[in-house]
Structure 1
Amino acid sequence: MNIDNRIKFRHLLCFLEVARQGSLARAAVGLAISQPAVSKTLKELEEILAARLFERSKQGVTPTAAGLAFLRYAGPSVQALREGVRSLRSGEHEAGVVRLGVLSTVESSLLPEVVRRLHEQHTALVVSVVTGPSAHLLDQLRVGALDLVVGRMTDSPQIEGLTFEHLYSESMLLVVRPGHALLQVDLRDRSRLGEYPVVLPLAGTTIRRSADSLYVQCGVVMPQQRLETLSVALSRRYVQCSDAVWIAPQDAVRQDLARGELIELNIGLQEPGGSVGICSNPTAALSLAAQWCCETLRSAAAEYRSHP
């Protein structure tokens, strides 16, 4: 079946921006056109496709089933065209750009090592990194704004329709600063954990459920004093200058533990671990730079499995 030649590049750009923003008004700002122009362009596309792509409400717009189906192909198609134009303008000898969505589970240890190796091997490569919750990053991957998402995300509903490659399993640990009072007591009495502030991931994130499960297994009510954040830097600094207990992904504190700057609390329990891996969009061909990144991630992850 031939592609309808009435579909223009502007239709696809408008559709993707509306899907990304969830609002006609915000999409208009992003596209630097008027809101009526956005509505008109979207209506033209819906008429061409003979399908309603969005449900409108006072809160904004959400893709219909048809919209989600079209989104799987529109985003990668636009990105493929951009990649083709870029490759012609920059020259095939240049490595280009790989756009990574990175969860907090890997930004402290795995990712810096991966970027170091990539830059050792490819002198012209740009690694563009976006951090945030898995739901947001996977949405960006789906519309073609990212090449890969790396981290612990298998429990996220947004992963449906995407491809996940397991790299290694990672546990959640309880860590505190050196000299913390809990290091001097018998933690078979786990009720003591409830006496101290706790640092944990944001509610609704994949790793928050794992963090919550540790306190449930301990039979301890989560303390009222909590710092909820995905910022590894903020979590680390707060724990080092306070009596807080950090429920941390192992990768986030791997180097701190090795240097003795943080100490793991041995409570006789261990969260079973989640799968850290690479998520990609099966409808989009990976660029050469993204393929290099996948190869380097696999190599670094293999060492993690050998030396946890």
Structure 2
Amino acid sequence: MHPGVKLRHIRAFLDIAAEGGLTAVARAQGITQPALSRTLAELEALMGQPLFLRQGRKLILTEAGALFRRHALAAVQALEAGAAALRPGAGGVLRIGVLPTVATRFMPRVMLAFREMNPETVLSVETGPHFHLMRLLREGAVELMVGHLPAASEMAGLSFDHLYEEEVILTARAGHSGLGAPVAALLERFPVILPPPTALIRPAVETYLASLGLAGLRPAVETVSLAVGRGLCLASDALWFISGGVVANELARGEMVQLATGRRFMSGPVGMTRRQAAQGAALAAFETVAREVARREYGAAHA
């Protein structure tokens, strides 16, 4: 690497890549936008090629920029870990990706237990759909992803640590006008909310619908967001196919109910996915806590 490349160049580049522009980054760093622009121009000159494409006010990573970002993230994280190791009591930051299926109940319990045992480590949590978190995992932007088992085609260079089995359920608001009717009739009569096509649980739901003669059922909405799905169900007679963990609290409070589908095959493994080369004391401690919470909440048979 060119000896003129400094850490300030790398940090500025990573922040710009994350924000997609200069204004917010300049404000956060307490410098002027022209000064930040000069820093980026210096880095591109030193690297010998453009790292971003300018599209109006947006900055989009070039192919070279995306490649450089992946390695730059790993390098900065390694430097931060090294600096933290030299400071007693400084635990650094552990970056994890959290899928909706574990975000509302399981992960808060894991994070609170981890905090008690590792108060000096900051947990930086990124949420979003599966494809987004998988990209962050491969780029090194997160060190661990917690959620459903990825497809076999996605597992190259990754490892999966099984925690428990999660059922995909059909749910509705308490007091729904169709409760007690056959599920197939309800699905034909009322608006249906399905997971998006990119969601890992969508194929299982489609298989179940096909078994009822409802293949190709057109949903009213596609989402795995608790805020959106819960809001729609509580305000209407919509029916929602979703991982049970997403609405576990709503079911426990009696706000929503689970409809009997008569099938048990809509389930799948939930666990921790990480790069095989990933390591570190904080990461290992988090995995240990997650396994213990899974054993406590779901039983040894599922841990």
The TM-score normalised by the length of structure 2 is 0.75
Q: Is 2:277 the partner of 1:295?
A: no
Pick from 147, 151, 154: which aligns with 1:151? 147
Residue 251 (structure 1) shift: 1.7
What pairs up with 1:104-119 in 2 under 5 angstroms? 104-119=100-115
Residue 32 (structure 1) shift: 4.1
Residues 30 and 124 from structure 1, CA distance in 2 versus in 1: closer, same or farther, beyond 3 angstroms? closer
Distance 1:211 1:30 in 2: 44
What amino acid sits opposite 2:94 in the alignment? V
Paired residue for 2:158?
Answer: 163
Deviation track 1:110-165 (CA, whole Å, cap 9, x = no partner) reads 2133124324434544434343334554555566554433223736x9x7887352
Alignment check: 8 A CA contact 2:150 2:200 kept: no
Residues 206 and 33 from structure 1, CA distance in 2 versus in 1: closer, same or farther, beyond 3 angstroms? farther
Paired residue for 1:66?
Answer: 64
Residue 223 (structure 1) shift: 4.7
Question: Secondary structure of 2:101's match?
Answer: coil
The answer for unaligned runs of 5 or more in structure 1 is: none
The answer for unaligned runs of 5 or more in structure 2 is: none
Residues 162 and 149 from structure 1, CA distance in 2 versus in 1: closer, same or farther, beyond 3 angstroms? farther
Aligned length: 297
What pairs up with 1:109-188 in 2 under 5 angstroms? 109-138=105-134, 141=137, 145-152=141-148, 154=150, 163-167=158-162, 168-187=164-183
Distance 1:68 1:160 in 2: 21
Residue 268 (structure 1) shift: 4.0
What amino acid sits opposite 1:174 in the alignment? L
Paired residue for 2:97?
Answer: 101
Residues 271 and 55 from structure 1, CA distance in 2 versus in 1: closer, same or farther, beyond 3 angstroms? farther
Distance 1:23 1:95 in 2: 31
Distance 1:55 1:47 in 2: 15
Residues 163 and 266 from structure 1, CA distance in 2 versus in 1: closer, same or farther, beyond 3 angstroms? same
Residue 249 (structure 1) shift: 0.8
Pick from 21, 33, 38: which aligns with 1:40? 38
- Range that drifts further, 91-100 or 286-295: 91-100
What amino acid sits opposite 1:243 in the alignment? D
Q: Is 2:77 the partner of 1:79?
A: yes
Paired residue for 1:213?
Answer: 206
RMSD of aligned C-alpha atoms? 3.9
Residue 44 (structure 1) shift: 2.7
Residues 122 and 237 from structure 1, CA distance in 2 versus in 1: closer, same or farther, beyond 3 angstroms? same
The TM-score normalised by the length of structure 1 is 0.74
Alignment check: 8 A CA contact 1:20 1:140 kept: no
Residue 180 (structure 1) shift: 3.1
Distance 1:266 1:152 in 2: 23
